[in-house]
A and B are shown apart, each in its own frame.
Chain A
Amino acid sequence: MGQKIVYYPADIIEKQTAAFLSSFGMPDDYVEITAMIMTDADKRGIDTHGIACIPNYHTRSKNNWITLDGKITTVRDNPLTTLLDAGGGLGYPVAHKAMNIAIEKAKKLGLASVAVRNSAHFGAAGYYTRMAASEGLVGFAFTSTSAPRVVPALAAEGRLGTNPIAFTAPTRRNKPFNLDMATSTVASGKIRNKAVEGQPLPEGWAVDENGQPMTNATEYFDGANMTSLGGTREMGNHKGYGLGAMVEILSACLTGSSLVMSPDHGKRKPGSMEIGHFFIAIAPTFFRERGAFEDTTDQLIDELRATEPVTTDQPVMVAGEPEDLVEEERAKTGIPILPGLREKLNNLAAETGTNFYLS
């Protein structure tokens, strides 16, 4: 297999993703939704949340940390709220269902929220909030995670996950405003990239086991941790820490999931990582006449994009725009798969008896 980047049409990536999930034992109806959402991440350049996750999911399934055929059940249902149990499965089907329930309720009654427990990784949080925006609703999504690798302000050890926040607002003229951010300074994938390229880490990304700033990327993988957004105390990492704790409260406490910093997190029952998600949908038409919310949001986006840039080759963008641009580009070029990932997937296909479509 060559050492160059190869581009594949999105439907091939989706087919390959689906083939893997099927061969790992995921039921067909879950496969369809999961492959669609994972491939959407690849289409939009969120390469850490697409087909690159397949090897991890295989490990988790093989070790019985997740239950790919876990049954989704409704634990509680009220007019504005629902609590779902994911049965230990990957988070995509249950998150998709949860946001659809929130959308349906919010359209009827104005707003709604759905809590999910007993779940696992659900990919990019922003996918679900874009579902809400495409129905004219404002969407929020939050999730807890599997590993406490983010240090609180003033702390020397990791206690929270990367705990992302996603928020999408509908528009008329522009693409939706779509914020999807980890509450850590950077995603761990960025640290891995620096390590692979032998580059130092910018100060403020990571801290060693004593909580001291570290810049050696390779040492990161020996017990170092990520910082909360802000990076250092002087630069406001207590705010990123506060946001991370807020996401933990919404995703874990509100759903009855285990806390990521608990010593037995994800180990209490076989076949479940015990991750929690939380979704909110709000109908702007319950506040103002139809279209008024979208017009205000469009006005804000226009004003922000019209900001004079620091350098002319780097215009001011709004949240979601970098992904919108990649999506347009990749619709023409296809989705790039790096040689290392392709080889990994090829080996995994051989190991699991899965058809390989990326040769």
Chain B
Amino acid sequence: MAELGGKGEVKYFSEEILRKQISVLMRAWGMPEDYISTTAKAMADADACGIDTHGISMLPPYFKRQRGKLISIDGPVTIVNETPVSALVDGGGGLGYVPGVTATKLVIKKAKKIGMASVAVRNSAHFGAAGYYTRMMAGESLVGITTTSAALRKVAPTFGKDAKFSTNPIAFAAPTRRNKTFSLDMATTTVAGGKVRNKYNENLPLPIGWANDADGKPTTDAKVVIEEQGGTQTPLGGTRELGSHKGYGLAAMVEILSCAFSGAKIMASDSDTQKVPGSMDIGHFFLAIDPKIFNPDIPFEESVDQMIDDLHASTPIDPDQPVLVAGEPEDIMRDERKQTGIPVPSGLRSAIEDVCRESNAEFLFI
């Protein structure tokens, strides 16, 4: 969303104001009252910890999607089937936050009772940052894994020209005692789409390995991706020599977990696009494991803390850049933004202001 950044003034707002702004818009779009606070909380949490691509910057695209009937903002979230260890949730074509939180609460309840559980979600849409759900599981002393499919095809398989996947993220979190939760939340691409866009905006060359042109050849030209000239983003690894087949394999694993368990549509396939009207039919997958069930001699949380301490103690390449663990940059950002508030750049403010006007909703970022 860097193009919304603009050169204007950045203003800072509390997480509370962000939640309010999100709620006001969701209500104006017709989201059921009991879904609003869950959605607002999850979205504002992304902004609170610096994942600016997954918070309020999504309001303009969500506005377009609900108005274009790509999503059903009032779609009911239902449990299709359920066993002591599993459940299948239908997102009703709505935004993915309530389906995501519903699935996470189910998987937590079941895993706490019997040791592990998994829940699949179909007929959903964008659910924000995958790590939000795995951190919920870790908050209940469980190990959590979450994956999701995503709508826009941007990533080509190794050796291929055409995009067949989106950024297909995987999230994993593990509870700790002394340290903050270990929280990995990563797209299976080399870099996020926003980073390619930033280079494009600044007219800078891409590092080789971030993107391929329409012929599948590595390119430094961000235009081929951003201007939709058939360019693709690379799977993690970037080039075959540096292991792009591994990133590709992980992306396919995420697609299988998110779609084959749930029955959501395969994004690579044209055949069943718009299989469900008013739905992007995105699939999610959740797995939770209670480490206490194995009861090893060294308590699990202590062992994870030890690992984090050992990783922190690694000799850094640059003494000014200490070695971090997954989740730490977001934790640092969260602390910082608690002090400063959450920065909302002028471009994003005016885009949200437009959305508010068109939605007859109050604009709060003033």
Contacts and interface: CB of A to CB of B under 8 A. Distances in A.
Interface in A86-133: 109-113, 115, 117
A293 B247 CA distance: 22
Contacts of A155: 311, 314-317, 323
A230 B261 CA distance: 29
Interface stretch (B51-59, B154-162, B354-362): B154-162
B186 A308 contact: no
Interface residues of B, number: 86
B143 A254 contact: yes
Contact of B294 (A76, A153, A231, A309): A76
A78 B85 CA distance: 14
A248 interface: yes
A159 B310 contact: yes
Interface string A293-331: 100110110011001111100111111000000000000
Contacts of A334: none
Nearest to A255: B296
A29 to B, nearest CB: 26
Contacts of B85: 80, 109-111, 286
Contact of B159 (A152, A169, A310): A310
A156 B313 CA distance: 11
A242 B260 CA distance: 25
A184 to B, nearest CB: 8
A288 B295 contact: no
Given A231-B242, A287-B120, A240 B311 contact: no
A300 B248 CA distance: 13
A286 B110 CA distance: 14
A181 interface: yes
B209 A235 contact: yes
Contact of A297 (B83, B186, B236, B256): B256
Interface string B252-274: 11011101111100101100000
A264 to B, nearest CB: 12
Contact of A111 (B116, B159, B268, B316): B116
A151 B261 CA distance: 35
A151 B289 CA distance: 28
Contacts of B260: 169, 284, 293, 296-297, 300
Interface in A226-252: 229-231, 234-236, 238-243, 245-246, 248-250, 252
- Please classify how large the interface on chain A is, using the bins under 10, 10 to 19, 20 to 34, 35 or more: 35 or more
A241 B317 CA distance: 15
Contacts, number: 264
From B85, B182, B210, name the one whose CB has the most chain A CB atoms within 10 angstroms: B85
A157 interface: yes
Interface in B76-91: 81, 83-86, 88
Nearest to B261: A287
Contacts of B341: none
A256 interface: yes
Given A230-B237, A256-B303, A262-B310, A310 B160 contact: yes
A212 interface: yes
A235 B326 contact: no
A212 B207 CA distance: 18
B241 A243 contact: no
A79 interface: yes
A186 interface: yes
B241 A157 contact: no
B164 interface: yes
A154 B252 contact: no
Given A154-B316, A156-B317, A293-B260, A113 B160 contact: no
Contact of B266 (A78, A83, A110, A296): A296
B159 A153 contact: no
Nearest to A210: B317
Contacts of A109: 84-85
A144 B143 CA distance: 17
B255 to A, nearest CB: 6
A261 interface: yes
A242 B209 contact: no
B174 A229 contact: no
B136 interface: no
A110 B86 contact: yes
B118 A256 contact: no
Contacts of B191: 236
A147 interface: no
B252 A304 contact: yes
Given A245-B326, A254-B143, A319-B252, A261 B114 contact: no
B216 A310 contact: yes
B306 to A, nearest CB: 6
Given A248-B307, A296-B256, 13 more contacts: A80-B115, A154-B324, A229-B237, A239-B186, A243-B186, A253-B300, A254-B289, A262-B306, A303-B269, A304-B268, A307-B161, A309-B216, A310-B217
Interface of A: 76, 78-81, 83, 109-113, 115, 117, 138, 151-157, 159, 167, 169, 177, 179, 181, 185-186, 202, 204-205, 210-212, 229-231, 234-236, 238-243, 245-246, 248-250, 252-256, 259, 261-262, 280, 282, 284, 286-288, 292-293, 296-297, 299-300, 303-304, 307-311, 314-319
Leading 9 A-B pairs by shortest Cβ distance: A256-B296, A310-B216, A307-B160, A211-B317, A253-B303, A303-B268, A155-B314, A296-B260, A242-B184
